[in-house]
Amino acid sequence: AVEALKPIAQHLEASVMKNELANMTDVFNYAVGAARVTVNGSLVEAPDQVAFNFDGTNKGGSSIVKSGKVSSSASAQLTTLDSILRGRGYKIAAMKMDIEGYEGQALRGATQFLKNPPCMLSVELNRPWLDRAGTPVEEVAELLTNAGFVLPVPTKEIQGLSNWVLFQKDMQGCMQR
């Protein structure tokens, strides 16, 4: 599990321990994104720390992308999914991504991971939020289809907030990995 917000990461760790899942679940307290970002038209290394909007009434709605009323801010260390997973030997069968519009940035930082992706991916796609993060839904869809996922609808039909459960085109081959 990857969670940028420290209090939620601590709750996840406590839940893992309470449910005796420590032998199969790790919790990483990071924000995930791309290794390189565009600033004023130039490609530069991503920062080590990111500030994000902290929603005190709905902590799960906190985000790097501004979307609505913000009560305060917080920061988290930024890394890539590839960096977290490098050398760990995890076999991930299913994954959920709900990063309040930062899903595309996280996928940009997962090029190695997407060469051997999970068989099932639950992902939130919100066109306005993805646009604000600099990753249009068309780019995210291309990353996902290039990784073997089947999108259930054309990207032009993805408008507001939508949650998708995507499966690999070759599910049998994926399950045998």
DSSP 122-154: EEEEEHHHHHHTT--HHHHHHHHHHTTEEPSS-
Closest CA to 74 of 119, 125, 15, 8: 8
CA angle 16, 20, 24 (to 5 degrees): 70
Nearest CA to 149 out of 105, 101, 113 is that of 113
Per-residue pLDDT of 33-63, as tens digits, reads 887 655 445 554 556 766 666 666 766 665 6
Count of helices and strands (H, E) across the chain: 6, 9
- What pLDDT, in 10s, does the model give residues 91-146? 899 999 988 888 999 999 999 999 999 999 999 999 998 988 889 999 999 999 99
Q: Which domains are delineated in the chain?
A: 6-176 (3.40.50)
